[in-house]
């Protein structure tokens, strides 16, 4: 029997997976929450990737789209979407296969609860039901195999100590930006004029720090948890864009910039509207532009700063609610599927370019025929690169595709 495959998410990895399925002759439907493909990539479209076209285009994409860009130039997210991902969606192979504006809200094994039929064949032989939010209301769909390629960008982490929201953070959620500021378009509007608190130390935070520090009317206060960050430096980094971010971050931390103050070894204790609202029976919302009082725990002791804007870039983690009713063994440390997490934690070094292909067995979950691929599969680990996702797609779709038995990891 030919399995029906549901790919969730039309980002780079979902599109590559969809092409792999059509290449193999398997009926595939891609469900994309946004109005078009690459919704997440477009959300950070102004940011330049630090990997070049050569690494960003999978061999399968290139075979389908010979005009795909080549070479060592690094595209922006928008260029990646415009020049690669959107053209892929127009290929005959994918025509009619992508359902846009269709969010998968939850996934189940039809008629089975999570704790039923543990490790027996019944689950493998029972189709999945997908609950869909569509422009016409709720709907359901069935599939025999599900590839969850939903990424992470819609699920930002909070900024408080130990990963929970800081006191005041939830009440001030409407004042906190959790996506990468576009300082090029915002420059004209003085969007970031005043004092900006930036929290986080990964590549997204480093990118934001670099860009915000160039704005003449902005004073940047950058809070970094690590007392001695090395900014993810990699010796003899083969990716110059990544090395440049490390260098700029180190310079900012060395106080080499008049309009930037970097607090290392520091966490946010609380956020309060300033002046604090007078207690009333019905709390009134904080005005959109009132300064915010931020209490910091620094190595020198408590400190207070008043800021006009908060940018929280403390990482992103995939949405676990999608697969809550499925048998997925998540790593207690990273939230990634257990076997993959163990493989990633066990691989040496911080250079995502050096990560080996993990093999299909590592991508399997206790829930048969349910795979998490792409950025979401790395949980809290921030070392995911497109190239690793394309390898995952290969592993799940191709290794046994041409064996005598015809058994593929996706065959039922
Ligand atoms: C700022 C930034 C810079 C990066 N730079 C690089 C780089 O230089 N090189 C590199 O290799 N990697 C880079 N990455 C990491 C990674 O490659 C990207 O995050 C990439 O977009 C991940 O691809 P994906 O297909 O796994 O997920 P995404 O691109 O996040 O795509 C997921 C898709 O799923 C959709 N979706 C989500 N939930 C649902 C749902 N419930 N139902 C239906 N659809 C849903 C979304 O709308 C989205 O279109 C970067 C990431 C960021 C954030």
Mutate to test the pocket of ligand 1, among 374, 377, 387 (most ligand atoms within 8 A of CB): 374
What pLDDT score was predicted for residue 401?
A: 42
The pLDDT of 131-149, averaged and rounded, is: 98
* Other residues' Cβ atoms within 10 Å of the Cβ of residue 63: 11
Q: Whose CA is nearest to atom 35 of ligand 1?
A: 9
Phi, psi of 225 (to 5 degrees): -70, -40
Residues with CB under 6 Å of ligand 1 are: 8-14, 31-34, 38-41, 44, 47, 49-51, 103-104, 149-151, 153-154, 180, 204, 322, 374-375, 384-386, 389
Instruction: Say if CB 364 and CB 147 are below 8 A apart.
Output: no
Look at residue 351 in the predicted model and tell me its pLDDT: 60
Q: pLDDT class for 2, splitting at 50, 70, 90?
A: confident
Per-residue CA distances from 61 to 5, 52, 383, 390, 409 (Å): 19, 15, 22, 10, 21
List pLDDT tens digits, range 165-182: 999 999 999 999 999 999
Contact 33, 101 (CB under 8 A): yes
Rounded to 5°, the CA angle 313-315-303 comes to 45
Mean pLDDT of 57-66: 98
| Atom in ligand 1 nearest the alpha carbon of residue 50 | 8
In angstroms, rounded to a whole number, what is the distance separating the alpha carbons of residues 339 and 331? 8
319-341 pLDDT tens trace: 999 999 999 999 999 999 999 99
Find the mean pLDDT for residues 141-155: 97
Reported as a single tens digit per residue, the pLDDT across 273-296 is 887 555 655 555 455 678 999 999
Distance from C-alpha of 224 to C-alpha of 228, rounded to nearest angstrom: 9
Handedness of CA 6, 77, 174, 159 (dihedral sign): positive
Mean confidence (pLDDT) of the chain: 91
**Predicted structure pTM score:** 0.92
CA angle (262, 264, 265) in 5-degree steps: 155
Residue of 190, 168, 164, 195 lying closest to 286 (CA atoms): 168
pLDDT digits (tens, 9 = 90+) for 33-56: 999 999 999 999 999 999 999 999
Question: Using CA positions, which residue lies closest to atom 31 of ligand 1?
Answer: 11
Domain boundaries, the chain: 5-154+316-400, 161-312
Nearest CA to ligand 1 atom 5: 49
Residue 133 has pLDDT above 60, yes or no: yes
Q: Lowest-pLDDT range, 39-48, 154-163, 187-196?
A: 187-196
CA atoms within 13 A on the CB side of 275: 2
Residue of 50, 106, 134, 153 best suited for mutating to test ligand 1, as the one with most atoms within 8 Å of CB: 153
CA distance 260 to 195: 10
Domains 5-154+316-400 and 161-312 share a fold: yes
Instruction: Map tokens 């010796």 to a residue.
Output: 235
In this structure, what token pair is assigned to residue 27? 């009926």
Beta strand 370-372 with 309-312 is unpaired
pLDDT tens sequence across 101-127: 999 999 999 999 999 998 889 999 999
User: Confidence class of residue 347 from pLDDT cuts 50, 70 and 90?
Assistant: confident
Instruction: Supply the residue whose CA is at minimum distance from atom 4 of ligand 1.
Output: 49
Interval between CA 300 and ligand 1 midpoint (Å): 39
Give CA–CA dist 306/225, Å, rounded.
Answer: 19
pLDDT at 206 over 90: yes
224, two tokens: 């970094």
Tell me the two tokens of residue 245: 């971010």
Residue 248 has pLDDT above 60, yes or no: yes
Bridge partner list, 25: none
**Token code pair at residue 26:** 């398997």
Q: In the prediction, which pLDDT does 353 show?
A: 62
Nearest CA-CA partner of 335 in 200, 112, 155, 176? 155
The residues, ordered by sequence, that sit 6+ positions from 252 with a Cβ below 8 Å of its Cβ are 209, 213, 220, 222, 260, 262
Q: What is the pLDDT of residues 219-243, one digit of tens each?
A: 999 999 999 999 999 999 999 999 9
Of 2.40.50.140, 3.90.110.10, 3.40.220.10, 3.50.50.60, the CATH number of 161-312 is 3.50.50.60
For 5-154+316-400, CATH gives 3.50.50.60
Q: How confident is the model at residue 90 (pLDDT cuts 50, 70, 90)?
A: very high
- Return the best residue to mutate from 51, 55, 72, 150 for the ligand 1 pocket (most ligand atoms within 8 A of CB): 150
Q: Which of 404, 412, 409 is nearest to 358 (CA)?
A: 409
CB 377 within 8 A of CB 337: yes
Q: What is the pLDDT of residue 403?
A: 35
């Amino acid at each position: 029997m030919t399995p029906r495959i549901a790919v969730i998410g039309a980002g780079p990895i979902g599109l590559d997976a969809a092409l792999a399925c059509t290449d193999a002759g398997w009926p595939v439907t891609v469900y994309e929450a946004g109005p078009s493909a690459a919704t997440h990539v477009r959300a950070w479209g102004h940011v330049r990737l630090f990997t070049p076209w050569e690494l960003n285009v999978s061999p399968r994409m290139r075979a389908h789209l010979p005009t795909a860009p080549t070479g060592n130039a690094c595209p922006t997210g928008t260029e990646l979407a415009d020049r690669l991902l959107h053209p892929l969606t127009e290929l005959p192979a994918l025509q009619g296969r992508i359902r846009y504006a269709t969010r998968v809200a939850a996934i189940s094994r039809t008629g089975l609860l999570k704790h039923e039929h543990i490790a027996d064949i019944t689950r493998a032989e029972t189709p999945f039901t997908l609950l869909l939010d569509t422009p016409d209301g709720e709907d359901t769909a069935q599939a025999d195999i599900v590839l969850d390629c939903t990424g992470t960008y819609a699920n930002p982490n909070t900024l408080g100590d130990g990963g929970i929201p800081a006191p005041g953070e939830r009440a001030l959620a409407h004042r906190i930006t959790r996506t990468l500021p576009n300082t090029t378009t915002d420059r004209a509007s003085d969007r970031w004029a005043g004092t900006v608190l930036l929290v986080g130390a990964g590549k997204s935070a480093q990118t934001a720090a670099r860009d915000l520090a160039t704005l003449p009317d902005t004073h940047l206060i950058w809070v970094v948890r690590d007392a001695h960050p090395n900014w993810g430096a990699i010796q003899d980094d083969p990716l110059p864009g990544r090395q440049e971010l490390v260098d700029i971050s180190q310079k900012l931390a060395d106080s080499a910039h008049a309009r930037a103050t970097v607090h290392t070894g520091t966490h946010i204790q609380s956020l309060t509207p300033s002046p604090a609202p007078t207690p009333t029976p019905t709390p009134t919302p904080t005005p959109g532009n009132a300064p915010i009082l931020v209490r910091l725990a620094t190595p020198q002791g408590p400190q207070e700063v008043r800021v006009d804007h908060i940018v929280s870039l403390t990482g992103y983690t995939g949405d676990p609610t999608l697969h809550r009713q499925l048998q997925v063994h998540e790593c207690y440390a990273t939230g990634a599927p257990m076997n993959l997490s163990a493989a990633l934690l066990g691989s040496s070094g911080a250079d995502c370019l050096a990560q080996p292909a993990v093999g299909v067995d590592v991508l399997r979950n206790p829930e048969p025929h349910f795979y998490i691929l792409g950025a979401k599969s790395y949980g809290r680990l921030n070392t995911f690169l497109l190239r690793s996702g394309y390898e995952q797609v290969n592993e799940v779709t191709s290794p046994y595709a041409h064996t005598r038995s015809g058994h593929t990891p996706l065959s039922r």
